[in-house]
Structure 1
Amino acid sequence: MMISGKTKVYGILANPVEHSLSPAMHNFWSKQTNKDMVYVPLKVEPGQVKEAVKGAWAMNLGGMNVTVPYKQQVMEHLSQIDEDALAIGAVNTLVPAETGYKGYNTDAKGLLRAIKEKNIEIQGKRWVLLGAGGAAKAAGYILMKEGAKQLFILNRSVEKGEALAKELKQIFGKGEVKAMALSQWRELPEDRYSCIQSTSVGMFPDKDHSPIEDSEFFKRIDKAIDIIYTPAETKFMRLVKEAGGAAYNGLDMLIYQGVIAYELWHPDIKLTMEQVKGAKALLTSMLEGKL
């Protein structure tokens, strides 16, 4: 599709941004849906987020994604914030509103779609969440919102885990949330759990590590999602599988958060499963170094 004077510009606001797969994904969908748009990387230096958002609005950008390290910082420069994004405390998608951009969090909804696609039940089930950072908060929020029976937050810093547990209790006022140190995993009630690994441990090039490496822990994990997608199989995932569980990486979460963002920008579009699978095939090829 030729770029013309009518072409709408979208992009991803981040630093670093060179590694992002979002331009390939959204430009693929723009061709699939015949949208006159182009999606570009937007590297923003520290301290320039306000200027970046104002500049994007002034230049009539059609929308933006936001990722590390600006998901929290960007919130103070928006005209509106969606209820879920406000509760999570992070925004990753900007959509034009009346007087500025409205912020959404499609990470949590993307994770939920990935969980549902794998037929992993949330309601009434016990879950383990590894980590207590921004990604963990989005994961914990969606698990509690969908009715998890119990959520055990295991984190290197118990204080940080307790802060997240307290926040989730204040938001929902129901369900049991407990924070523990990673080393305290043996104190988990005897059961089989679903688990989300939300830390960066195991991400390339640190691919030979897992937040927990004791094989006895993994005998308690029935199904697991690692939000990391490089490498395609992390050590955490491998240990889950070796203990007899099922494990999935974070590529589906990345793609589904993108689907939700794309459909927010284009309310007239509902991406088909074929288009979603096409994007996954493209990104998988890129990750494998085939393109």
Structure 2
Amino acid sequence: MRIYGLIGQTLKHSWSREYFIRKFAAGGIHADYILFELARINDLPVLVRTEQQLYGLNVTIPYKKSVIPFLSDLSPEAEAIGAVNTIRIERQGQDIRLTGFNTDAPAFGAELGRFAFRESKRALILGTGGAAMAVAHVLKNEGWTFSMVSRSGKLPNVLSYDKLTPDIMASVELIVNATPAGMYPEVDTMPPLPWDYITRKHLLFDLIYNPEETRFMQMGQAKGARAINGLGMLKRQADLAWEIWPKDQTQEK
């Protein structure tokens, strides 16, 4: 039986195994999906050599950027983004080739396409990690003007939360939470936005899907804003990953 899975540091939040096990059962696919918690990304080569039936991986925080040096190749989109969330593993004897892809970007773009926006297309991206880079890639390609935001604001061209003025908040329509703040089990946390400036004109897109309604979303809705979670994006990127991974011809009926 071929194995696919997810690597990350802590995976208590993940619904990926549940999603893929249902997908395999519905499609008559003889495969398994396993959550692999890695204390360090340096443990990836040992995992790949040890699990000889492993043919595909999803990648989550905090390894979407740091996994890249361990890969044989990158898709053009993953290279442009600078982050990987899907790995295809090809085996020929002792030769193992790992290719990195980014399915976060097309999945986010498809979810964003569900909504109509003003022509100004201004956004804030909360976070600077791999997921944030995928969001930035999509927004840039679709003609958005955006700023990235972090707690420290120390990176070039990145704002800190205390620099989000009323004028900035009024100018943006889309706010994307690409941080883990609010993710299970830390469900009482959220990004420190200046919430007094959130209005019904804002759309809050939380990439988190567990819990399905985060504090970030609840706070936005209390101010009249629209708010959506990352569950639709999770399903889209998972289906795209399945298209990328090598499959045994006997897996599907």
TM range (shorter): 0.7 to 0.9
Asked if the contact 2:55–2:246 (Cα under 8 Å) also holds between the matched residues in 1, the reply is no
Q: Which runs of 5+ in 2 are unaligned?
A: 248-253
Identity of aligned residues (%): 29
Measure, in 2, the Cα distance between the counterparts of 1:67 and 1:190.
32
Per-residue CA deviations over 1:42-80 (Å, capped at 9, x if unaligned) read: 233423222223444xx2422122223332333222222
Per-residue CA deviations over 1:94-141 (Å, capped at 9, x if unaligned) read: 11357512111112222222222x324498511111222332222112
Aligned to 2:71: 78
Counterpart AA for 1:188: I
Aligned to 1:248: 228
Give the secondary-structure state (helix, strand or coil) at the position aligned to 2:202. strand
1:265 to 242, 245, 252: 245
Alpha-carbon deviation of 1:20? 2.6
Measure, in 2, the Cα distance between the counterparts of 1:120 and 1:197.
19
Aligned to 2:153: 158
Give the secondary-structure state (helix, strand or coil) at the position aligned to 1:25. helix
Q: Structure 1 length normalisation: TM-score?
A: 0.73
Q: Structure 2 length normalisation: TM-score?
A: 0.83
Q: For 1:41-80, what aligned pairs fall within 5 Å after superposition? A: 41-46=35-40, 47-56=42-51, 59-80=52-73
In structure 2, the CA distance between the partners of 1:184 and 1:91, relative to structure 1 (3 Å rule), is: same
Measure, in 2, the Cα distance between the counterparts of 1:13 and 1:188.
37
In structure 2, the CA distance between the partners of 1:101 and 1:125, relative to structure 1 (3 Å rule), is: same
1:108 to 105, 108, 111: 105
Q: For 1:128-139, what aligned pairs fall within 5 Å after superposition? A: 128-139=124-135
Give the helix-richer structure, 1 or 2: 1
In structure 2, the CA distance between the partners of 1:28 and 1:122, relative to structure 1 (3 Å rule), is: farther
Q: Which runs of 5+ in 1 are unaligned?
A: 1-6, 166-178, 268-291
Measure, in 1, the Cα distance between the counterparts of 2:200 and 2:45.
46
Aligned to 2:251: none
In structure 2, the CA distance between the partners of 1:23 and 1:49, relative to structure 1 (3 Å rule), is: same
Asked if the contact 1:44–1:52 (Cα under 8 Å) also holds between the matched residues in 2, the reply is no
Counterpart AA for 2:177: Q
Number of residue pairs aligned between Structure 1 and Structure 2: 242
In structure 2, the CA distance between the partners of 1:124 and 1:80, relative to structure 1 (3 Å rule), is: farther
Alpha-carbon deviation of 1:220? 7.2
